[in-house]
Amino acid sequence: MNKKKLLVSALLLTFVFTACKHKSQATSGTATDSTKTEKTVTPNETKNTNAQILGRPEVPILCYHRIADGKKSEYAVTPATFAAQMKILADSGYHAILPAQLYDYLVYNKSLPEKPVMITFDDSRVEHAAVAAPILEKLGFKGVFFIMTITYNKKNYMTTEQIATLAKAGHTVGLHSWDHTMVIKYKDDADWQKQAVEPKKKLEKIVAQAVDYWAYPNGVYDHKGAAELSKHFKLAFTLISKRDTVYPLQTVRRMLATEGTPQGLLKSMRRTFGKKH
Ligand SMILES: [Zn+2]
């Protein structure tokens, strides 16, 4: 090979290398951001302080309620919209994580898959088992289903068997109170027993595993409620509220996934939770 040919090959190689680099950067999306933030954090054996927990980049968490046609409400999306929103997450390289992973990430700095997202469902509607779970499963996603236990086996709500099946399939089942009374209205220990402690025990029997996660009815919490929940649940989920500085694990933020384009969903996820993941 003469000198000129060598030079050309070297240039070509450089070009190919640069092109690949650009391509991988482009396809990994926000990965460069998360590498930047993660590099100083290593997994630890001892629990993070509240300040450290609050300092971890937030994971986008979506919250769905009704999945049905013909409902005009910010608490409803059509099955077609839900399917399209899940598809864009899968196509964009998102990985659906579960609360146990989020807990280890927040408390012990354990790593998460690239582009993590959590997909949650409130109110134990029957379409969560009938419509949502099959769509998730086809894409290799797992979901988190928060049950208000007064609805067991009622019309339009999941049966206890459907709830058990979700848990068996590897989804996470959490508690959403007994009858959807907001935490700020629980006056005494009897209320806590009725809304949280007893329903948790019953739900654990149904799913044959621990129920460690809570979603606040209406997303509404107060400091006292977060403190009480910390005795019974590893994590509790709000909607878009400010996190409690003493109980960050009991005030994990979620956003409502509303009717709209799949691209719109990705945009609001970034707007709400930042671009660190
Ligand atoms: Zn609810």
Residue 157, classed as helix, strand or coil, is: strand
Q: Mind listing the pLDDT tens digit of every residue in the chain (277 residues)?
A: 445 554 444 444 443 333 333 333 333 333 334 444 444 678 888 999 999 999 999 999 999 999 999 988 989 999 999 999 999 999 999 999 999 999 999 999 999 999 999 999 999 999 999 999 999 999 999 999 999 999 999 999 999 999 999 999 999 999 999 999 999 999 999 999 999 999 999 999 999 999 999 999 999 999 999 999 999 999 999 998 899 999 999 999 999 999 999 999 999 999 999 987 7
Alpha-carbon distances of 128 from 28, 123, 158, rounded to whole Å: 31, 9, 8
List, in order of start, the domains of the chain with CATH numbers: 59-273 (3.20.20.370)
Distance (Å) from CA 176 to ligand 1 centroid: 7
Distance (Å) from CA 9 to ligand 1 centroid: 63
Distance (Å) from CA 106 to ligand 1 centroid: 25
Distance (Å) from CA 150 to ligand 1 centroid: 12
Distance (Å) from CA 218 to ligand 1 centroid: 5
Distance (Å) from CA 240 to ligand 1 centroid: 14
- HEC secondary structure over the chain: CCHHHHHHHHHHHHHHHHHHHHHHHHHCCCHHHHHHHHCCCCCCCCCCCHHHHHHCCCCCEEEECEECCCCCCCCEECHHHHHHHHHHHHHCCCEECCHHHHHHHHHHCCCCCCCEEEEEEECCEHHHHHHHHHHHHHCCCCCEEEECHHHCCCCCECCHHHHHHHHHCCCEEEECCCCCCCHHHCCCHHHHHHHHHHHHHHHHHHHCCCCCEEECHHHCCCHHHHHHHCCCCCEEECCCCCCCCCCHHHCECCEECCCCCHHHHHHHHHHHHCCCC
Distance (Å) from CA 196 to ligand 1 centroid: 14
pTM of structure: 0.85
CA distance 232 to 244: 17
Distance (Å) from CA 179 to ligand 1 centroid: 9
Distance (Å) from CA 247 to ligand 1 centroid: 21
Distance (Å) from CA 19 to ligand 1 centroid: 49
Is residue 254 within 8 A of residue 62, CB to CB? The reply is yes
Distance (Å) from CA 1 to ligand 1 centroid: 72
